[in-house]
Structure 1
Amino acid sequence: MRVAFVSLYPDQLSSDGATRRARRVAERLAARGHEVVFLCAQWWGGPLDEFEHNGVEYVAVTEEPAVRSFASKLPFALRRASPDVVHATNSPPAQVVAAKTAARVLRIPVVVDWWARRADDSTRMLRRATKGADRVLAPSRLVKTDVREYGAAADDVTLVPESIDFDLVREAGVDNRADLVYARDLDEHANVESFLLALAELRGRDWRAAVIGDGPERDAAEETAAELRIDDRVSFLGDLDPEEFVPILKGAHVFAQTATVEPFARGLLWALACGCVGIVEYQARSSGHELVENLDRGARVTSPQELADEVVAAAAHDPSTVNEAFVGYDHEPILTAYENVYESEIDAYGFF
């Protein structure tokens, strides 16, 4: 199968949840033997219009990430690429509309992988993007609800969650440096303060905590830990690769999910697979609570005080390093889900 990914912003140029998801899927499809071309703004140096990286053929539609220029040139780039299916990220929505223009001529389907609305995305264009999609993919029920509000029918939206390397979960060693862990990009939505306030409530108990991740709010978080007088027991570890953070998760007992915005709580997924008790602070724009619904080793809370109470209650759970209930989130079955969607939409397009 030849798959054309469409994303003005590739992960190498602007890394966020949406671009990381697109890059991971593209590279894994290529590793599975598919032909993958990634149409984007140029992120590599030199005069080359095309650049191969990790099995993916990147094609520069524009030199700079300019929305109008990218959308105007995209139909011609897609015709040259001649794919069997188009996989587009939802933002900027103009690229979805432009992709559909070319797809009608090529008689191929457009699958839109929806993540989140960016600040510059207009509601009008997002509605046009949903109408331009033959199939919309959403990582969570939260995002599916968003897409339906932009006009997509429920039957046209398929849930395809994020994935993890379950073999790594099984095979990694155990690092016992922390009892409680928080892991996420430390941006304006991180809300790591809730985690730290909960720890402060437990100041009289014996625990060690780790914060994994980096970002513009890290300094503020470290200052908060110092002001709460718990900085001697909270380690800020920065960004870590899965090979580095999985052993820490396997050695921990509790993982706290407190971010205010989270289309899919991938850090929480890793932690639950590693046997952690997942405690999720409910937030209106976070899907984290979806992963712990009806889960014995999970709880939902609404405040730092409740989070602290659940940390104490988590002591009733036996230590664990692997939770096989999450094997369905392994990279392989999730990648197969993408393939099944592509094949179904290609067959449906050919039929009509």
Structure 2
Amino acid sequence: MSTTDRQNPLRILIGCDTFLPDVNGAARFAERLAAGLVQRGEDVHVVAPSVRHNRTGSFVETIEGERMTVHRWASWRWYPHDWLRFVLPWRARGYARKLLDRVRPDVIHIQSHIVIGRALAIEGSKRGIRIVATNHVMPENVLDFTLLPERAKRIFVRWGWNAADRVLKLAEAITTPTRRAADFLERSTHRRGVLPVSCGLRASNYTADLEPRSENTLVFVGRVTLEKEIDVILRAIPRVDPALDVSFTVVGDGDQRKNLEKLAAELGIADRVAFTGRVTDEQLRAHLTGASAFVIASIAELQSIATMEAMASGLPIVAADAMALPHLVHHGENGYLFQPGNDRELAEQIEKVLKSSPEQFAHMQRASLEAVQVHDIDRTLDTFEALYRGEAVAG
């Protein structure tokens, strides 16, 4: 039970630059946060891009099984990316003014400092509305979707962090999913006191199969984009002992799928690699439950909800020793870490998992299940409700 006073529910406006039907960590977090708050009796409103540039309005939508009001602002597709849309910046402030005057929220929780989050923070601060900000964005990651030359990219990164600083200074509380992400944000801006708050998940929604595996199936879940470095996993597979007969399933879709399918063919492993494309939540959970291990080579994870989902499914994890992944993967306990980009070392760590004794394998499974418990969604909801009410929260 939350500490929220049920007689005084909050009217919470969650501002998202990515949201359903987008598939990424920030969108998934916002969806689960909004649904969890509705379940607790809060009055939740979400602001998100529309799916078409000529559609602006307020709609009752079902998110994670809960009905809530979603205010969709007209948006345009960013064509270097396979699905990313953005609201025109010079229109966002006007949309924000009208919406805030109508909804009159008690608190605004922005999920990024970009267009929607920036507009809501600026206009909300003028009205004296409490602003809470969660940072899911690293300007460095956005570069995957630009065509800028290297020198221009360096300038863009500096500009991006300065722009983030100008928006985040309007917030009374700033959070990121992990301590490492909080430290990175503090180094990159003038913000201090950034709180690590897990994105959270409900582990009971996932099923762990603790029986020995008859097949060696590796799985990755997430967007099929450059920053995920799925090519490193593909290059590692031919290095794994052929006697293990390893197969690999990529659950998700993205702009790199065709390139990766081509690479798998060039490596001679196309018959052992499956790309599912977008799947339902039920199908995603089934892929995790049935796999032997979860593998992630990404070097830019601020937390990785997909890795937490794999842990809640009782999987050993093999992950790049980068950004927030070491917070989830304890080397030698619930899996192994490898040097980012090193496909030879990745292959060695995969072999360690798949060649482990039944007792060792079961130990890694149990370690994943135990480690994910600290990321329970109710803890996350408790923390944000306290922040919304201006209560002190321990870092």
Q: Distance in 1 between matches of 2:161 and 2:27?
A: 21
Quick check: 1:226 aligned with 2:226? no
For residues 116-156 of structure 1, what are the alpha-carbon distances to aligned partners after superposition, in whole Å with 9 as ceiling and x for unaligned?
A: 04548733321111211110110123431232121111x2x
> 1:323 maps to what in 2?
369
C-alpha RMSD of matched pairs (Å): 3.0
* Alignment TM-score, normalising by the size of structure 2: 0.76
**In the alignment, what sits opposite 2:329?**
292
Question: What is the number of equivalent residue pairs in this alignment?
Answer: 340
Distance 1:125 1:74 in 2: 19
Structure-2 separation of matches of 1:185 and 1:177: 25
Distance in 2, Cα, partners of 1:15 & 1:246: 15
Tell me the residue number matched to 1:124.
162
Cα distance, 1:276 vs structure 2 = 1.6
Q: Determine if contact 1:130/1:150 at 8 Å carries over to the other structure.
A: no
Instruction: Report the equivalent of 1:68.
Output: 90
| Counterparts in 2 of 1:60 and 1:253: CA distance versus 1, 3 Å | closer
Shift of 1:291: 0.9
For the structure 1 residues 11 and 251, does the alpha-carbon distance in structure 2 shift closer, same or farther, using more than 3 Å as the test? same
Alignment pair present for 1:215 and 2:257: no
Q: Name 1:58's counterpart in structure 2.
A: 70
206-215 vs 12-21, which moves further: 12-21
Supply the AA of the counterpart residue of 2:261. Answer: E
Superposition pairs of residues 180-329 of structure 1, within 5 angstroms: 180-206=218-244, 207-283=246-322, 286-293=323-330, 296-302=333-339, 303-314=342-353, 315-316=355-356, 317-319=360-362, 320=365, 323-329=369-375
Deviations 1:45-101 (A, max 9, x none): 998732111222123566771112212442342232111111112231684365244
Identity %: 21
The answer to whether 1:147 aligns with 2:185 is: yes
Deviates more, 1:165-174 or 1:28-37: 165-174
Give the direction of change, closer, same or farther, for the CA distance of 1:243–1:165 in structure 2 (3 Å limit): farther
Q: Which runs of structure 2 are paired with 1:20-39 in the superposition (5 Å)?
A: 20-39=28-47
- Read off the aligned partner of 2:71 and give its amino acid letter: V
Displacement of 1:264: 2.0
Matched residue SS, 1:116: coil
Matched, 1:338 2:384: yes
Q: Decide whether the 8 Å contact of 1:70 with 1:95 is kept in 2.
A: no
* Equivalent pair of 2:175/2:195 in contact (CA under 8 Å): yes
Measured in 2, the distance between the counterparts of 1:216 and 1:313 equals 32
Pairs within 5 Å for 1:5-20:
5-7=14-16, 9-12=17-20, 15-20=23-28
CA offset at residue 195 of structure 1?
Answer: 0.8
How far apart in 2 are the matches of 1:187 and 1:88? Answer: 25
Evaluate the alpha carbon distance shift between residue 340 and residue 295 of structure 1 in structure 2; reply closer, same or farther with a 3 A threshold.
Answer: farther
In 2: Cα distance, 1:334 partner to 1:295 partner? 28
Contact 1:187 1:216 in 2 (8 A): yes
Deviation, 1:201, is 0.3
Q: Is the 8 A contact 2:133 2:174 kept in 1?
A: yes
Shift of residue 11, structure 1, vs aligned partner? 1.5
Give the Cα separation in 2 of the matches to 1:179 and 1:169.
Answer: 18
For 1:339, the aligned partner's letter is E
Gaps of 5+ in 1: none
Cα distance in 2, alignment partners of residues 209 and 42 from structure 1: 35
Shift of 1:113: 1.3
Query: What are structure 2's unaligned runs of at least 5 residues?
Result: 1-9, 77-86, 143-155
Contact 1:130 1:147 in 2 (8 A): no
User: When the two structures are superposed, what TM-score results if normalisation uses the length of structure 1?
Assistant: 0.84
Runs of 4+ in 1 over 6 A off after TM superposition: 44-48, 171-177
CA gap of 1:245–1:172, structure 2 versus 1, over 3 A, is: farther
Q: Identify the residue that residue 162 of structure 1 maps to in structure 2.
A: 199
Q: 1:250 offset after TM fit, Å?
A: 2.6
Distance 1:252 1:184 in 2: 15
Describe the superposition over 1:6-33 as per-residue Cα deviations: whole angstroms up to 9, x where unpaired: 23x3524755432332233223212332
